[in-house]
């Protein structure tokens, strides 16, 4: 196992632009010229929209110091020729993630475990909830817990407090880990592209109360989950990750719910990982995701 001092720093450059000849070359040739070695590369062209997307993880191919400012200034000169929108991020950057939750703790527990073990390279500056139930769990991890009750009448004031906490934390991402409240139009707009939600995906769909009991009564055979960016349309934002597993007649409602919780945890953590590793491009009402 390598010591931290011996690990060569890596960086991620992501870019998108109108599709034309030379879009891959403008990135890869520049990296070679800067004595960089490409560890991982993904690219995609949406031929219907004539849009090009690329993600490259690279490291220095020598012992020279990496001047991020100088690198960015030089690359911008090339990128301008392609009307390219781009971003450069150190691979070891720890995204600041604010988690919102109500009473169901399975997704929160899973994220906290991955945070605690280093599986997710993140900071969690705050956990926000409309219930007090999970404060002890946050305290055990040494994370500030904000209990902000909400009613129909207090919703605007409560969301203003929530958003203030998000700003004060300088959060890069907000994760709704089974936060059982519908965000307002204003809040959804403020968090566009920066908030991920998780919900079950039962096939066929069952809405309303006790969905797993409804599913059981219909003899459901598939249980799944969907992680997506928050949008003004309830549970219809750009999809990041989906998972599904089979069930059969032997699954009672409580078994279906347990299976659903497991899938929700896996699907949400995958979506968070893709976001913090800059593997997602928002592309209209959908996403381009370069998974591992």
Q: So which residues are the catalytic ones?
A: 235
Give the span between the Cα atoms of 289 and 17, in whole angstroms. Answer: 16
Residue-level length of the chain: 292
Q: Tokens 């409602």 correspond to what residue? A: 253
Pairing status of strand 173-176 against strand 95-101: parallel
Residue 129 has a CB neighbour count (10 Å cut-off) of: 23
Give the distance, in angstroms, between the CA of residue 207 and the centroid of all CA atoms in the same chain.
25
Cα–Cα dist 236/228, whole Å: 8
Q: How far apart are CA 252 and CA 31, in angstroms?
A: 56
**H helix or E strand, kind and range, residue 36:** strand 36-46
Number of other residues whose CB lies within 10 A of the CB of residue 242: 15
d(CA 171, CA 157): 20
Chain centroid to Cα 121, Å, comes to 12
Instruction: For strands 286-289 and 280-283, give the pairing.
Output: antiparallel
Three-point CA angle 246, 247, 253, nearest 5°? 140
Spatial contact of 274 and 280, defined as CB atoms under 8 Å apart? yes
């Amino acid at each position: 196992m390598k010591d931290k001092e011996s690990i060569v720093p890596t960086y991620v450059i992501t870019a998108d632009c109108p599709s034309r000849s030379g879009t891959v070359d403008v990135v890869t040739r520049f990296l070679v010229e800067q004595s960089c070695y490409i560890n991982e590369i993904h690219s995609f062209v949406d031929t219907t929209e004539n849009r090009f997307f690329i993600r490259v993880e690279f490291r220095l191919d020598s012992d020279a110091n990496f001047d991020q400012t100088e690198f960015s200034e030089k690359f911008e000169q090339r990128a301008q020729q392609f009307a390219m929108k781009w971003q450069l991020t150190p691979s070891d950057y720890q995204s600041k993630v604010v988690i919102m939750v109500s009473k169901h703790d399975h997704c929160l527990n899973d994220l906290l475990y991955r945070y605690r073990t280093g599986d997710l390279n993140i900071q969690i500056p705050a956990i926000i909830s409309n219930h007090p139930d999970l404060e002890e769990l946050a305290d055990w991890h040494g994370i500030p817990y904000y209990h902000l009750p909400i009613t129909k009448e207090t919703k605007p004031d409560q969301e203003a407090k929530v958003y203030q906490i998000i700003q004060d934390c300088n959060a890069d991402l907000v994760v709704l880990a089974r936060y059982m409240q519908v965000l307002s139009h204003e809040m959804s707009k403020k968090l566009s592209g920066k908030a991920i939600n998780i919900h079950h995906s039962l096939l066929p769909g069952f809405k309303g109360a006790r969905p797993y009991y409804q599913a059981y009564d219909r003899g459901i055979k598939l249980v799944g989950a969907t992680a997506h960016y928050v949008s003004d349309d309830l549970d219809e934002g750009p999809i990041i990750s989906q998972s599904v597993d089979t069930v059969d007649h032997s699954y009672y409602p409580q078994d279906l719910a347990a299976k659903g919780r497991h899938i929700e945890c896996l699907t949400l953590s995958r979506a968070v990982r893709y976001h913090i590793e800059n593997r997602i491009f928002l592309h209209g009402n959908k996403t381009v995701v370069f998974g591992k």
